Structure 1
Amino acid sequence: MEGVVCLIKISADRIVPALCLKEVNGSYSFAQIRRASNEDIVNIQPAKNEKVKDKKRKKEENQMTNNKKQEVDSIYIGQPAGLKSTSVVMLRKIFLINNNAIIKQIAEVPIEDYQKCLQTFRKIKRINELHQQLHRIKKKIQLAQYNNEKYGDLEKLKDQILKEIGYSNQPLFEKEKKPYKNFREVPNKGRIKVYYGGR
């Protein structure tokens, strides 16, 4: 069943085409399919063509790679036999359904495209899990700040998650680099100097 495009019933009055990504104990994960727009088709073509050296073409290629980075959640699968038009799998529109909701099989996607969809689906799922973990850690840090407790370990964990998601570790403003030589907590070790003002 995995890698097969089916018509599935997602509500009482709505039937959509979707690609089966995973099957676990009689329940299926399906990603909805839509008709490919001109932009989707254009974004795929430069990968097949040879690189052209003129500057204008390079700019266009850079823009297309930027678009690809932004639109990681949809994958172009072409027009497998059984589909009416070229199609795109939307990996953010996932439906968990039982066998009863599957109406009929309409096409089979090539293995390479299915593998691409599955890898992207796993990445999206992992990033979502990391975001949820990050929110929990931020709440714990905030609670530790209110209770005046140490939270250095939580900050390290937060930095690791941010790095894995893809955010840079640089502070947003230059001002943030200056206080306490970028320590997470106020330094409390060593000698404390007390300066008295002149009278």
Structure 2
Amino acid sequence: MEFYTFLVIAGVLAIAAIAVIGGVIELLRQRVLVDSETRAVIGISIPGLGDFSTNYPSLGAIALGLLMCFGTIVWISNEPAQIPVTATVTVTNPALHADSESDLFLSVVPQRYRRSVIGNQLDTPVRIDLSVDDGEDYVAIVRSSVKDAEDGVAYQGLASGPINISNSDGTVSGEYESVLRVR
């Protein structure tokens, strides 16, 4: 689970807890509203639960808080399992100066997964780890941009291919390996 998703879930559950606790506290205070014209107690009748002479907002706060908690828990339980994927990419071009560095951009489609690795040495395998949702076939697309350290000319390369998903010892994982020759 990503950090920002965790923050949203924690925030929603905190707001829901405050709503439920506040509603219960208001119910325990037993505040009764009286109509100013008729001097009659304002009540609410809920089928199956009976008649209540209490504040509408306290019941509404409890209902809203419970609904938020329920919705968040259902949403969390529908999150798909994650598969760890390791992409090993080597950028090469014998014509480039040895001190040239490459920038790698890895995208995994059809989902929203992207990683960037900046400042890699040529001819050195780079390992990029990420997690993707289980249950789909993925294609890795790698783009590299290299600026030659000697003459300043920029070179680009592109590689793509399927991610090999394997299931060994009950552990599902994916691998992608590529040698990318920039031109």
Task: Tell me the TM-score normalized by structure 2.
Answer: 0.28
Higher helix fraction: Structure 1 or Structure 2? 1
**Structure of higher CA gyration radius:** 2
Task: Tell me the TM-score normalized by structure 1.
Answer: 0.26
Higher strand fraction: Structure 1 or Structure 2? 2
